Chains A and B, each alone.
Chain A
Amino acid sequence: MNIPTFIIKNALRNKRRAVLSVLSVAASLFLLVTLLVALRELTSPPEGLGAALRVAVRNKISITNPLPARQRPIIEHISGVEAVTPFTWFGGKYQNEEGMTFAQFALDAKMMRRLFVDLKMTDAEWQAFTDEKTAAIIGKVTADKYKFKAGDRITLDSTVYPGALQFKIAGIYHGTADDRNMFFHQDYLDDSIGIPGQVGMWWLKVKTIDDMPGVIAAVNKAFANTSAEVRAESERAFQLGFISMWGNIKVLISSICTVVVFTLVLVSASTMSMAIRERFRELAILKAIGFQRRELFTLILAESFGLTVAGGLLGIGGAYALFTFGDISKMTHGIFIAFEVTPKIMGTAALVAASLGIIASIAPSIAVARMSVVNGLKTLD
C-alpha cells in the first residue's frame, strides 16, 4: 500500500455517498458549462466571412420601423460603398405550424452574392435564383428539416403583410453562420402583398475595412434630420445591439452561474465535513502514530480534490460530448444552431471544480489540525 491507495480507499469507503457527491458535482458543472456556452452564444454571435466589410443600416427609432426605398441611390453614391441591398423581414409561417420556424428576408438577389460572400451555392442555383422573381433560396438546416429541394414550391403565410406568397426553391445554401434562413426577391414582395417604397433595413458592403468608419458616418449624416433617420453600424455592433433587446440576459445567466457555484461549494463542503467528522477517531489514530498536520491536510485535500475533479471531468466531458456530437439545433428547437464548448469554458469549469476541492477541504482540515489526539480518541466513544 502507498499513500495514494490509502486516499482512494478512504474516498470510496462510502461508495454511495462518493458516487452521489461525484454526480452532484458533475450535474452542477454540466449546468455551469451549459450556461456559460449559452451566454457565449448569445453575447458573441458567430461572425460570417464577410462580416468585417458589412454595414447594417436600420431606422434610428427602432428596427421594426421601415425605411424608404428612396434612400438606396443616396447610399449607393457614398464613397466607399461597394454594394447595397434592402433587407426586409417577411415573418412567414409554413403550413400549419404555430409560429415562425425559420426567418425569411426579402432582398436584392443580384447584390446578395457580393454582400454575403460566405453563402455557398452552385452557379446554377445562383442563376436560377436571380432569374426568377418568385425564386427563393433556403439554408441547408431548414431544407434538411423540411426535406425541401430545388424546384419545390412552398407557400408562406406572412404575419407582417396581409396574405401569403408562393415561392419556388431555386437553391439550398450553406456556409453561413446561420444556415436556417430563407431569402427571396424584394421586387416579388413589393409587387404582390408588400408596401412598395418601403424596406425593412439596408445592408451595405464597403470596399475596404478602412472605408468602414467613413461610410458609417456618411450614411448617418445623409439622413440626419429627415423623416427617416438611420442608424448605421458594423455587423458586429448590429448583432450585439440586437442581442441587447433580449434584456440583460448576461446578468441573469451570470447570476444563475454564481448561484450554481455557490450551491456547489456548500454541497461539497458539507459532504467533506461529514466524511471527515465520521473519521475523527481514525484521524486521531493517524496523528498518534506520527502523521503530522500537513500530511493529514494532504490526505483530506487529495480526497476532496479527487471527488470534485472526478465530478468535474464527468460534467464537463458530458457537456462537451453532448454539445459537440449532439444535434443542438434539434435539442433547442432551433434557438441555437451552434453550441461550442470552447477550451476557455472547459478551463473555467475545470478551475471551478479544482477550487471546489480546495475550498471543501479547508474547514475539515482546520478541524483536524485543531483536534488533539486525546480528544479525537474520545470521539464516538
Chain B
Amino acid sequence: MTAKGNIVTIRNLSKIYRQGEINVTALDNVSLDIAAGEFLTLMGPSGSGKSTLLHIIAGIDRPTSGECQVQNIDVTQLDESQLADWRNQNVGFVFQTFNLIPVLTAQENVELPLLLMKLSSEQRRRRVAAALELVGLADRARHLPRQLSGGQEQRAAIARALVTDPALIVADEPTGNLDSHSAQEVLGVLQTLSRNAGKTVIMVTHDPKAAAFGSRSIHLEKGELTA
C-alpha cells in the first residue's frame, strides 16, 4: 500500500537483463518513496540503472521482481492493454530527443494523446491551447518540429506530456540535447509544473546543474541507491 502522501512506492525492485549467457543486474533490490508534487532527480553514471528505474515507474518496462505502486496501483501487475490505458491517463513522457512526430505541427503533436480519450474536438483544442500556453509556445502552435528550435521542440514535448493532465511526468535527460539557455528554459518549465501545478516530476539527468532544479536528488550506482 502506498504510504500517505506518496505517489510512488517502490519495494525491493530488481531488474536483471540476460545478455547471452550473462546476467546483468540493472536494479538491485531498490526501495524508494516519492511524494506527490515532488521534483525528483535521478542521478548516476551511465549503466547505473536510473533510466531502467524511470521506465519501470512509467510502466514501459517490467521488473524482474519487486513491487512498484503508483497512485495505489501496482503497475507490475497490469497487462499490456491495462498499462497502455494507465500510461495515457497517468503519465506524461519527456525524452532526450524530443520525439515529436515530424509530419505533425506542434499543436497536433500535443493533441496526439488526447485522440485516445473520449473528448470532443473543441475540448481537445482547448486543452492543447492551454498546454502550449503553459510552456510558452502558443505562438508556435502551427509550426512543424523542423521549424522549431531544440528548446521549443522540448517544450512542445512537455506540452504533450501534460496535456492529459497526468499526476506523474517522467523526463529522461530532457536537457541532454539542448544548449544551456534552452536547458534552463525547459528545467524552469518542469520546476513550475511541480511547484505550481502540483505535478510529480521524475527526471533522469547527468548534469548537477539540472539536478539543482529538483526538490530532491537521489543517486544510483550499479543498480543500487547510494543517496
Residue among B84, B85, B108, B111 making CB contact with A287, cutoff 8 Å: B84
Q: Is B101 an interface residue (CB 8 A)?
A: yes
Which residues in A have their C-beta under 8 angstroms from that of B55?
373-374
Question: In the assembled complex, how far is the CB of residue A93 from the closest CB belonging to chain B, in whole angstroms?
Answer: 64
Which residues in A have their C-beta under 8 angstroms from that of B95?
285, 377
Q: Mark B148-162, 1 if CB is under 8 A from A, else 0.
A: 000000000000100
Q: Is A239 an interface residue (CB 8 A)?
A: no
Q: Is B80 an interface residue (CB 8 A)?
A: yes
Q: Is A125 an interface residue (CB 8 A)?
A: no
Q: Is B61 an interface residue (CB 8 A)?
A: yes
CB closest chain-A residue, reference B52: A374
Tell me, in angstroms, the Cα distance from A188 to B115 when the chains sit together: 84
Tell me, in angstroms, the Cα distance from A287 to B85 when the chains sit together: 10
* A289/B103 in contact, CB under 8 A: no
Which residues in B have their C-beta under 8 angstroms from that of A9?
103-104
Q: Is A10 an interface residue (CB 8 A)?
A: yes
CB closest chain-A residue, reference B86: A290
Q: Is A132 an interface residue (CB 8 A)?
A: no
CB closest chain-B residue, reference A381: B97
Count residues on chain A whose CB falls below 8 Å from chain B CBs.
25
Residue among B61, B84, B108 making CB contact with A292, cutoff 8 Å: B84
Tell me, in angstroms, the Cα distance from A13 to B104 when the chains sit together: 10
Q: Mark A283-305, 1 if CB is under 8 A from B, else 0.
A: 00111111111010000000000
Residue among A1, A281, A288 making CB contact with B87, cutoff 8 Å: A288
Tell me, in angstroms, the Cα distance from A1 to B106 when the chains sit together: 12
Q: Quick one: given A285-B99, A374-B60, are A6 and B80 in contact (CB under 8 Å)?
A: no
* A282/B99 in contact, CB under 8 A: yes
Residue among A282, A289, A293, A372 making CB contact with B93, cutoff 8 Å: A289
Residue among A12, A282, A293, A374 making CB contact with B80, cutoff 8 Å: A293
Which residues in A have their C-beta under 8 angstroms from that of B104?
1, 6, 9
Question: In the assembled complex, how far is the CB of residue A174 from the closest CB belonging to chain B, in whole angstroms?
Answer: 57
Q: Is B102 an interface residue (CB 8 A)?
A: yes
Main SS of chain B's interface residues? Answer: helix
Indicate the size class of the contact surface on chain B.
Answer: 20 to 34
Residue among B81, B102, B116 making CB contact with A13, cutoff 8 Å: B102
Tell me, in angstroms, the Cα distance from A1 to B116 when the chains sit together: 12
CB closest chain-B residue, reference A10: B103
Tell me, in angstroms, the Cα distance from A3 to B121 when the chains sit together: 12
* B87/A13 in contact, CB under 8 A: no
Tell me, in angstroms, the Cα distance from A232 to B84 when the chains sit together: 74
Which residues in A have their C-beta under 8 angstroms from that of B73?
none
* A289/B60 in contact, CB under 8 A: no
Query: For residues 1 through 32 of chain A, which have their beta carbon under 8 Å from a beta carbon of chain B?
Result: 1-3, 6, 9-10, 12-13
Tell me, in angstroms, the Cα distance from A352 to B104 when the chains sit together: 32
Q: Is B113 an interface residue (CB 8 A)?
A: yes
Q: Is B30 an interface residue (CB 8 A)?
A: no
Tell me, in angstroms, the Cα distance from A282 to B108 when the chains sit together: 14
Q: Mark B175-193, 1 if CB is under 8 A from A, else 0.
A: 0000000000000000000
* A290/B108 in contact, CB under 8 A: no
Which residues in B have their C-beta under 8 angstroms from that of A381?
97
Tell me, in angstroms, the Cα distance from A288 to B164 when the chains sit together: 13
Q: Is B88 an interface residue (CB 8 A)?
A: yes
CB closest chain-B residue, reference A296: B84
Q: Is B112 an interface residue (CB 8 A)?
A: yes
* A3/B115 in contact, CB under 8 A: yes
Q: Quick one: given A9-B104, A13-B102, are A2 and B84 in contact (CB under 8 Å)?
A: no
Q: Mark A126-137, 1 if CB is under 8 A from B, else 0.
A: 000000000000
Closest 5 A/B residue pairs (Cβ): A290-B88, A373-B60, A1-B108, A9-B103, A13-B103
Task: Report B's interface with A, CB cutoff 8 A.
Answer: 55, 58, 60-61, 80-81, 84-85, 87-89, 93, 95, 97, 99, 101-104, 108, 111-113, 115-116, 121, 160
Pairs across A and B, CB under 8 Å, 25 listed: A2-B115, A2-B121, A6-B115, A10-B103, A13-B102, A282-B101, A285-B99, A288-B58, A288-B60, A288-B87, A289-B93, A289-B113, A290-B84, A290-B85, A290-B89, A290-B113, A290-B116, A291-B84, A372-B61, A373-B55, A373-B61, A374-B60, A374-B61, A377-B95, A381-B97
Task: Report A's interface with B, CB cutoff 8 A.
Answer: 1-3, 6, 9-10, 12-13, 281-282, 285-293, 295, 372-374, 377, 381
Extra 8 A-B pairs, beta carbons < 8 Å, given A286-B112, A289-B87, A289-B113: A6-B115, A12-B103, A289-B88, A289-B160, A290-B84, A291-B84, A292-B80, A292-B84
